């Protein structure tokens, strides 16, 4: 694919003045929060034995459970989360996946803090100023740490709930899918919000049968003008979240993940495997791109190859021909409007994840996005694809920017966005 041609030939519609609000505009550099916390939690990481679908398996757990406790807050709360590490030798941190916290709360060992060693603790504090579905996970030896169970749900609600509002994080522990939480029955006609989180390193396919539904939000950001869908599956990338909303029907509803019913209120006979798959770039009501120029443009070519910057060249996942820690950082200035072009030249999917910022999807394979503005923090760049995304550099610090197939990330597919 000719990257240079795509950079100049996207045909983006730009209409400054008619710009939609940037949902996660931090306004000014975030300061350390000094307000009294209104929601306090303690998460203790320790080795544990947990029940994975009827079999006891060794895990690393927060407060003895996988997933860890569900952290909930309402917009306006100040969260304080004390992380303790009892006996995880690889160290533990808390990263608030998709939550654009101040840099020193981001939980990346060696970048924003030191890993919390056994017997140590670290106190996180941040303001719940973005409603939506998020999750937290360790970022220390993140591949093994998350796989073993050091993760949980973070939900920030705009206000009191009417109807049913439930979160289903899909996770594979010791090769087995963890059971979905029990969902209470809900009276027909009441609104249901199903928050789906993929905490695995590979894409999952979700199909909701027995009802029409809308995708209300992706990666914690509400979509504009989502229309009802039927017989449609969604693909959620590693780390990604989709909020599905519908009114509870009087007849049974079932949620299938990769063809397996993880939750149902009764028998639903539907061959969901044949359903069409939603393309989020073509869903909802379009709006103009809020920026007419880009101060910085970067291209990331994802591939597999020899990292030639090493003294002893190593074969593995590479970005622009290099692997972490040899990939130069992308340097931006506060206020810059930044465009990233991400090209996958490899044979495998790379679910891309930028910390500290949501990015607006501009185009995929040279075709401008025509649906609702998509502000993502996790998106699958499939083999051969080219994604163009942009964001305003409004959250100073040093941020990880990596593949969320965490084995890839730990094997070198990690780089950093840096503010000069």
391, with CB counted inside 10 A (0-12, 13-18, 19+), is buried
Distance in Å, CB of 139 to ligand C2O, minimum: 6
405 binds, options ligand C2O, Cu ion, none, Cβ within 5 to 8 A by partner type: Cu ion
Per the listing, tokens 């045909």 go with: 11
The answer to whether residue 416 forms part of the interface with ligand C2O (CB under 6 A) is: no
What three-state secondary structure class fits 38?
Answer: coil
Distance in Å, CB of 408 to Cu ion, minimum: 3
What three-state secondary structure class fits 132?
Answer: strand
Task: Work out which of 84, 147, 241, 355 binds ligand C2O, going by CB under 6 A.
Answer: 355
φ, ψ of residue 361 in degrees (nearest 5):
-75, 125
The answer to whether residue 93 forms part of the interface with Cu ion (CB under 5 A) is: no
Could you give the string, one character per residue 337-366, with x where binding to Cu ion holds by CB under 5 A and - elsewhere?
Answer: -------------x----------------
3-state helix, strand, coil in the chain (%, to 5): 5, 45, 50
Question: Which tokens go with 221?
Answer: 């950001």
Residues of this chain, 117-146, that bind ligand C2O according to CB under 6 A? 137, 139
Task: Work out which of 239, 356, 373, 397 binds ligand C2O, going by CB under 6 A.
Answer: 239
Q: Which is nearer to ligand C2O, 200 or 385 (CB)?
A: 200
Residues 6+ apart with CB under 8 A from 37: 78, 79, 80, 125
- The angle formed by the CA atoms of residues 139, 143 and 144, to the nearest 5 degrees, is 100
Number of residues that bind Cu ion (CB under 5 A): 4
290, with CB counted inside 10 A (0-12, 13-18, 19+), is buried
400 binds, options ligand C2O, Cu ion, none, Cβ within 5 to 8 A by partner type: ligand C2O
Per DSSP (E only), the strands in 77-223 are 78-85, 95-97, 121-127, 132-137, 151-157, 164-170, 172-173, 176-177, 191-198, 204-209, 214-218, 221-222
Could you give the string, one character per residue 209-238, with x where binding to ligand C2O holds by CB under 6 A and - elsewhere?
Answer: ------------------------------
Question: Which span (38-46, 341-349, 358-366, 399-407) binds ligand C2O, by CB under 6 A?
Answer: 399-407
353 binds, options Cu ion, ligand C2O, none, Cβ within 5 to 8 A by partner type: ligand C2O
Residues of this chain, 73-102, that bind ligand C2O according to CB under 6 A? 95, 97
Binding site for ligand C2O (CB under 6 A): 95, 97, 137, 139, 239, 353, 355, 400, 402, 404
């Amino acid at each position: 694919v000719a990257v240079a041609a795509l950079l100049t030939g996207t045909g983006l519609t730009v209409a400054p003045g008619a710009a939609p609000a940037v949902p996660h505009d931090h306004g000014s550099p975030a300061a350390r929060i000094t307000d009294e916390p209104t929601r306090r939690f303690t998460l203790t990481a320790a080795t544990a034995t947990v029940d994975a679908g009827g079999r006891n398996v060794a895990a690393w757990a927060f407060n003895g459970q996988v997933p860890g406790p569900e952290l909930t807050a309402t917009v306006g709360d100040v969260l304080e989360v004390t992380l303790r590490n009892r006996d995880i030798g690889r160290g533990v941190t808390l990263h608030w996946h998709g939550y654009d916290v101040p840099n020193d709360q981001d939980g990346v060992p060696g970048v924003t803090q030191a890993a919390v060693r056994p017997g140590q603790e670290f106190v996180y504090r941040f303001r719940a100023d973005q409603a939506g579905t998020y999750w937290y996970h360790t970022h220390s030896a993140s591949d093994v740490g998350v796989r073993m169970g050091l993760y949980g749900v973070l939900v920030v609600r705009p206000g009191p709930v009417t109807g049913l509002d439930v979160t289903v994080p899909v996770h594979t522990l010791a090769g087995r899918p963890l059971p979905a939480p029990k969902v209470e029955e809900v009276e027909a006609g009441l609104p249901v919000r199903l928050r789906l989180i993929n905490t695995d390193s590979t894409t999952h396919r979700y199909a909701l049968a027995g009802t029409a539904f809308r995708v209300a939000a992706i990666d914690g950001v509400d979509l504009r003008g989502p229309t009802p869908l039927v017989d449609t599956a969604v693909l959620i990338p590693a780390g990604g979240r989709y909020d599905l909303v519908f009114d509870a029907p009087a007849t049974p509803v079932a949620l299938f993940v990769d063809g397996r019913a993880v939750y149902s209120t009764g028998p639903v006979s539907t061959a969901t495997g044949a359903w069409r798959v939603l393309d989020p770039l073509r869903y909802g009501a379009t709006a103009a791109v809020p920026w007419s120029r880009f101060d910085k443009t970067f291209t990331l070519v994802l591939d597999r190859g020899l990292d030639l910057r090493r003294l002893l060249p190593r074969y593995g996942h590479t970005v622009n021909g290099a692997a972490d820690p040899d990939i130069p950082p992308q340097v931006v200035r506060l206020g810059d409007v930044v465009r990233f072009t991400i090209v996958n030249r490899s044979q495998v999917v790379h679910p891309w994840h930028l910390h500290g910022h949501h990015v607006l999807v501009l185009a995929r394979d040279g075709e401008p996005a025509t649906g609702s503005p998509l502000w993502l923090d996790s998106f699958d760049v499939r083999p051969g694809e080219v994604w163009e995304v942009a964001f305003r550099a409004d959250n100073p610090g040093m941020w990880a920017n990596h593949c969320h197939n965490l084995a890839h990330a730990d094997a070198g597919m990690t780089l950093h966005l840096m503010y000069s």
